[in-house]
C-alpha cells in the first residue's frame, strides 16, 4: 500500500532523528574507549571510574533506539529498503553496546592492575588497543556516510588485531619466570580478549553498513 506524502515525510524525519541518536551513542562508546585507554596505559584511575557512569547513558540510548526501531516498523509501514535499514540499526546498536561493555571491563582490569608494576607486554597491548579504537572510529564514519566500501575494509583491520592477539597471547603463555602473583598475567589475557572482541564488533558494524547500502550480507 502506498504511503501518503505527509506520512512518508514524517517517517523520514523520524528516521533521520534515529540515525542521529545512533551516532550520538557511537560517540559515547568511542569516549568510553578513550577512557579505557587512559586507565590502562596512563594508569588514570579516575578515567576508569567514569566509564560505568557513561555506560549507563549508552545503555539508555540502546534501549531507546531499539524501541524506536520497533515502533517505526510497526506504525509507519516502511518499504523494503527502510526495513533493511531499521533491522541493521537494531543489530549494530547491539554491537556498539557490547563495545561499551568491553570498555567498562577494561576499566575494571585497569583498576586491578594498578597495584602491580607495568607488564612488559603493555606496549604491545597498547598498539592493539589503538588499532581497535581506530576501527571503531572507522566504523562510525562508514555508518555516518553509509559507505559500504569503508565498512567492508574493516575486515582487514580486524585481521591485524587478531594477529596482535595471537602474538601477545603466545608471549604471555611462554612466560617461565613469573615471580609472585599470577594475577597480572591473567588480567593481561583478559585484556587482550576484550580488545579482540571489540574489534570483532566494530567489524560487524562495517558489515551491517554494507548490508544497508547493498542489501547483501
Write the pLDDT tens digit of every residue in 61-105.
Answer: 999 999 999 988 887 677 778 888 899 999 999 999 999 999 999
Regarding the domain with residue range 5-214, which homologous superfamily does it belong to in the CATH classification?
Phosphate transport system protein phou homolog 2; domain 2 (1.20.58.220)
Burial 60-99 (b: 16+ CB within 10 A, else e): ebbeebeebbeebeeebebeeebebbbebbbebbbbbbbb
pLDDT-derived band at 1 (thresholds 50, 70, 90) equals: very low
Interhelix angle 5-41/45-75, nearest 10 degrees: 160
> What is the residue extent of each domain of the chain?
5-214
Q: Are 198 and 132 in contact (CB under 8 A)?
A: yes
Q: Are 30 and 137 in contact (CB under 8 A)?
A: yes
pLDDT at residue 122, rounded to an integer: 95
When the pLDDT of each residue in the chain is averaged and rounded to a whole number, the result is: 92
Amino acid at each position: 500500500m502506498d504511503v501518503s506524502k505527509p506520512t512518508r515525510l514524517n517517517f523520514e524525519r523520524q528516521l533521520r532523528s534515529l540515525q542521529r541518536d545512533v551516532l550520538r551513542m557511537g560517540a559515547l562508546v568511542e569516549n568510553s574507549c578513550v577512557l579505557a585507554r587512559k586507565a590502562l596505559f596512563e594508569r588514570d584511575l579516575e578515567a576508569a571510574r567514569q566509564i560505568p557512569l557513561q555506560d549507563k547513558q549508552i545503555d539508555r540510548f540502546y534501549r531507546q533506539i531499539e524501541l524506536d526501531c520497533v515502533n517505526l516498523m510497526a506504525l509507519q509501514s516502511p518499504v523494503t529498503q527502510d526495513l533493511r535499514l531499521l533491522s541493521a540499526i537494531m543489530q549494530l546498536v547491539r554491537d556498539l553496546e557490547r563495545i561499551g561493555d568491553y570498555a567498562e571491563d577494561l576499566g575494571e582490569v585497569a583498576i586491578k592492575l594498578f597495584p602491580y608494576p607495568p607488564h612488559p607486554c603493555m606496549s604491545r597491548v597498547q598498539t592493539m588497543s589503538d588499532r581497535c579504537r581506530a576501527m571503531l572510529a572507522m566504523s562510525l564514519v562508514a555508518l555516518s556516510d553509509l559507505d559500504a566500501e569503508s565498512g567492508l575494509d574493516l575486515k582487514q583491520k580486524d585481521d591485524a588485531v587478531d594477529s596482535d592477539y595471537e602474538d601477545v597471547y603466545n608471549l604471555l603463555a611462554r612466560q617461565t619466570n613469573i615471580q609472585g602473583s599470577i594475577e597480572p598475567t591473567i588480567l593481561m589475557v583478559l585484556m587482550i580478549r576484550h580488545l579482540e572482541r571489540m574489534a570483532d564488533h566494530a567489524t560487524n558494524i562495517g558489515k551491517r553498513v554494507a548490508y544497508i547500502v547493498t542489501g547483501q550480507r
